[in-house]
């Protein structure tokens, strides 16, 4: 595993951290993954450059307790973002259990499978303003500083954040630190 905050020299002599800072200053609602790709930094390193009030770090040892809390939220937006696909799935997070090296989630939900929770190196509660909308998510990072998956507060038919989930999201900022 590499350190998520590793710095490599970028093109045109501008260091990646300086370039990422400049990009975020010019366009604060930039997609973190896009800035990471363009600068050669990890996604986590770019997230760490965002304003501190917009992110709260949760220790990876809290994975199961946090997952169990998220499983009480009802239907959420579960997102996996790879270089090849951004997969969005709405459903309730099933309560899981550890077995055979994975955190196994199965239930009456389209969200299910096996998470290598031991690969989780950091969890962030992320609160950002993107274009004209507030976006609230819980993001799970691996040891390379890349996102394993994200869980988003859902929106109603008018595109407003669901109040009950938003209240629970706000509570995470103090409950799990």
Q: What is the pLDDT along the chain (177 residues), one digit of tens a residue?
A: 444 444 444 445 679 999 999 999 999 999 999 999 999 999 999 999 999 999 999 999 999 999 999 999 999 999 998 889 999 999 999 999 999 999 999 989 999 999 999 999 999 999 999 888 999 999 999 999 999 999 999 999 999 999 999 999 999 999 998
Distance between first and last Cα of the chain: 25
**Nearest 5°: phi and psi at 5?**
-110, 20
- Cβ-proximal residues to 36 (8 Å cutoff; 6+ apart), any chain: 20, 42, 43, 45, 46
Q: What is the pLDDT of residue 13?
A: 66
pTM over 0.85: yes
- Tokens (6 digits) for 68: 């169990």
Helix (H, G, I), strand (E, B), or coil: what is residue 95? Answer: coil
Q: What is the pLDDT of residue 5?
A: 45
Q: Which of 54, 53, 61, 43 is nearest to 5 (CA)?
A: 43
Q: What is the pLDDT of residue 14?
A: 78
Q: What is the pLDDT of residue 82?
A: 87
Q: What is the pLDDT of residue 3?
A: 44
């Amino acid at each position: 595993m590499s350190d998520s905050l590793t710095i490599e020299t970028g093109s045109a002599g501008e260091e990646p951290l300086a370039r990422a800072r400049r990009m975020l200053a010019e366009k604060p609602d930039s997609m973190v993954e896009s800035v990471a790709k363009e600068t050669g930094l990890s996604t986590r390193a770019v997230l760490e450059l965002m304003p501190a009030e917009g992110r709260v770090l949760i220790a990876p040892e809290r994975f199961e307790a946090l997952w169990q809390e998220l499983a009480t939220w009802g239907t959420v937006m579960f997102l996996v973002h790879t270089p090849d696909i951004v997969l969005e799935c709405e459903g309730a997070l099933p309560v899981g259990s550890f077995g055979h090296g994975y955190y196994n989630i199965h239930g009456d939900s389209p969200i299910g499978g096996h998470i290598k929770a031991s690969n989780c190196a950091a969890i962030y509660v992320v609160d950002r303003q993107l274009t004209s909308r507030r976006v609230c998510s819980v993001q799970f990072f691996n040891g390379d500083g890349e996102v394993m998956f994200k869980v988003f507060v859902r929106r109603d038919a008018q595109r407003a954040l669901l109040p009950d989930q938003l209240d629970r999201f706000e509570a995470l900022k103090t409950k799990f630190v």
